[in-house]
Amino acid sequence: VLQFLHDEVGYNYRMTNVQACLGLAQLERLEDFIAHKKALYDRYAAALDGVKGLRILPFREEECRSNHWFFSLYLEDSGLDRDTVIEKLQAQQIQTRPVWALIHEQADYPRNEAYGLDKALAYRKYIVNLPCSTNLSFEDCDRVIEAVLGL
Protein backbone atom coordinates (compact mmCIF):
# COMPACT_ATOMS: atom_id res chain seq x y z
CA VAL A 1 0.00 0.00 0.00
CA LEU A 2 1.36 3.38 -1.01
CA GLN A 3 1.19 5.88 1.85
CA PHE A 4 2.68 9.28 2.42
CA LEU A 5 3.74 9.88 5.99
CA HIS A 6 4.98 13.31 6.93
CA ASP A 7 7.20 13.70 9.94
CA GLU A 8 7.58 17.47 9.67
CA VAL A 9 5.68 20.55 8.56
CA GLY A 10 6.03 21.47 4.89
CA TYR A 11 4.71 24.21 2.63
CA ASN A 12 3.34 24.37 -0.89
CA TYR A 13 2.97 27.93 -2.15
CA ARG A 14 2.26 27.09 -5.78
CA MET A 15 -0.81 28.51 -7.48
CA THR A 16 -2.70 27.16 -10.49
CA ASN A 17 -3.46 29.38 -13.49
CA VAL A 18 -7.17 29.38 -12.56
CA GLN A 19 -6.38 30.49 -8.99
CA ALA A 20 -4.19 33.28 -10.37
CA CYS A 21 -7.00 34.48 -12.67
CA LEU A 22 -9.50 34.49 -9.81
CA GLY A 23 -7.03 36.39 -7.63
CA LEU A 24 -6.49 39.06 -10.29
CA ALA A 25 -10.25 39.46 -10.76
CA GLN A 26 -10.70 39.90 -7.02
CA LEU A 27 -7.91 42.49 -6.89
CA GLU A 28 -9.98 44.70 -9.18
CA ARG A 29 -12.65 44.80 -6.43
CA LEU A 30 -10.25 45.06 -3.48
CA GLU A 31 -10.79 48.75 -2.63
CA ASP A 32 -14.57 48.28 -2.54
CA PHE A 33 -14.19 45.19 -0.33
CA ILE A 34 -11.95 47.05 2.11
CA ALA A 35 -14.25 50.09 2.24
CA HIS A 36 -17.27 47.89 3.00
CA LYS A 37 -15.42 45.91 5.66
CA LYS A 38 -14.21 49.13 7.31
CA ALA A 39 -17.79 50.41 7.38
CA LEU A 40 -18.96 47.16 8.98
CA TYR A 41 -16.14 47.34 11.54
CA ASP A 42 -17.01 50.96 12.38
CA ARG A 43 -20.65 49.94 12.83
CA TYR A 44 -19.73 47.11 15.23
CA ALA A 45 -17.31 49.34 17.14
CA ALA A 46 -19.81 52.20 17.52
CA ALA A 47 -22.50 49.87 18.85
CA LEU A 48 -20.51 47.41 20.96
CA ASP A 49 -17.12 48.78 22.02
CA GLY A 50 -17.21 49.66 25.71
CA VAL A 51 -20.79 48.43 26.22
CA LYS A 52 -21.36 45.86 29.00
CA GLY A 53 -17.61 45.24 29.24
CA LEU A 54 -17.35 44.27 25.56
CA ARG A 55 -14.50 45.43 23.37
CA ILE A 56 -14.04 45.43 19.63
CA LEU A 57 -10.32 45.01 19.18
CA PRO A 58 -8.77 47.83 17.16
CA PHE A 59 -6.57 47.54 14.10
CA ARG A 60 -3.08 49.00 14.21
CA GLU A 61 -3.59 51.58 11.49
CA GLU A 62 -0.52 53.62 12.40
CA GLU A 63 1.80 50.75 11.45
CA CYS A 64 0.15 49.65 8.22
CA ARG A 65 -3.10 49.95 6.30
CA SER A 66 -5.56 47.38 7.59
CA ASN A 67 -7.77 45.35 5.29
CA HIS A 68 -10.21 44.85 8.22
CA TRP A 69 -10.14 41.13 7.56
CA PHE A 70 -11.99 40.03 10.71
CA PHE A 71 -13.64 41.67 13.70
CA SER A 72 -12.76 40.41 17.16
CA LEU A 73 -15.21 40.81 20.02
CA TYR A 74 -13.17 40.63 23.25
CA LEU A 75 -15.12 39.29 26.22
CA GLU A 76 -12.71 39.34 29.18
CA ASP A 77 -14.46 42.13 31.12
CA SER A 78 -18.00 41.24 30.03
CA GLY A 79 -18.59 38.23 32.28
CA LEU A 80 -19.52 36.24 29.18
CA ASP A 81 -18.02 32.89 28.22
CA ARG A 82 -16.67 32.60 24.67
CA ASP A 83 -18.19 29.21 23.88
CA THR A 84 -21.55 30.15 25.38
CA VAL A 85 -21.65 33.32 23.28
CA ILE A 86 -20.88 31.31 20.14
CA GLU A 87 -23.62 28.77 20.99
CA LYS A 88 -26.24 31.43 21.76
CA LEU A 89 -25.52 33.32 18.55
CA GLN A 90 -25.56 30.07 16.55
CA ALA A 91 -29.03 29.38 17.98
CA GLN A 92 -30.05 32.65 16.28
CA GLN A 93 -28.48 31.53 12.98
CA ILE A 94 -25.45 33.82 13.48
CA GLN A 95 -22.19 32.07 12.79
CA THR A 96 -19.25 33.23 14.86
CA ARG A 97 -15.93 31.60 15.64
CA PRO A 98 -13.24 31.61 18.25
CA VAL A 99 -9.88 32.96 17.23
CA TRP A 100 -7.65 30.32 15.65
CA ALA A 101 -5.94 27.73 17.79
CA LEU A 102 -2.34 28.61 18.52
CA ILE A 103 0.25 27.15 16.15
CA HIS A 104 2.45 25.73 18.87
CA GLU A 105 -0.49 23.58 20.00
CA GLN A 106 -1.03 22.03 16.56
CA ALA A 107 0.21 18.58 15.61
CA ASP A 108 3.97 18.54 14.98
CA TYR A 109 4.50 22.08 16.22
CA PRO A 110 4.97 21.44 19.97
CA ARG A 111 8.56 20.45 19.33
CA ASN A 112 9.17 23.90 17.85
CA GLU A 113 10.05 26.95 19.89
CA ALA A 114 7.23 29.11 21.27
CA TYR A 115 7.61 32.11 23.51
CA GLY A 116 6.00 35.43 24.40
CA LEU A 117 2.47 34.05 24.20
CA ASP A 118 0.88 35.88 27.15
CA LYS A 119 -1.56 37.89 25.03
CA ALA A 120 -2.18 35.04 22.60
CA LEU A 121 -3.49 32.79 25.38
CA ALA A 122 -5.92 35.46 26.60
CA TYR A 123 -7.05 36.25 23.06
CA ARG A 124 -7.78 32.59 22.40
CA LYS A 125 -9.81 32.40 25.61
CA TYR A 126 -11.84 35.61 25.17
CA ILE A 127 -12.23 36.35 21.46
CA VAL A 128 -15.31 35.70 19.36
CA ASN A 129 -14.86 36.66 15.72
CA LEU A 130 -18.03 38.31 14.46
CA PRO A 131 -19.48 37.95 10.95
CA CYS A 132 -17.49 40.14 8.58
CA SER A 133 -17.94 38.92 5.04
CA THR A 134 -17.89 41.40 2.19
CA ASN A 135 -21.43 40.27 1.36
CA LEU A 136 -22.70 41.05 4.88
CA SER A 137 -25.29 43.81 4.67
CA PHE A 138 -25.65 46.62 7.20
CA GLU A 139 -29.01 45.10 8.18
CA ASP A 140 -27.27 41.77 8.87
CA CYS A 141 -24.63 43.60 10.89
CA ASP A 142 -27.35 45.33 12.93
CA ARG A 143 -28.98 41.95 13.62
CA VAL A 144 -25.66 40.62 14.95
CA ILE A 145 -25.25 43.72 17.12
CA GLU A 146 -28.75 43.33 18.54
CA ALA A 147 -28.12 39.66 19.29
CA VAL A 148 -24.82 40.40 21.04
CA LEU A 149 -26.38 43.15 23.13
CA GLY A 150 -29.13 40.73 24.13
CA LEU A 151 -26.71 38.20 25.60
* Low pLDDT (below 50) residues in the chain: none
For the whole model, what pTM was predicted? 0.82
Element (H, E) at 48: helix 30-48
Q: What is the pLDDT of residue 6?
A: 67
Contacts for 82-85: CB closer than 8 Å, 24+ residues apart = 82/125, 82/126, 82/127, 82/128, 85/128, 85/148, 85/151
Predicted pLDDT of residue 18: 96
Please report the domains of the chain, with CATH numbers, ordered by start residue. 30-149 (3.90.1150.10)
Q: What pLDDT does residue 99 have? A: 87
pLDDT for position 3: 67
pLDDT value at residue 10: 78
Helix (H) or strand (E) holding 122: helix 118-126
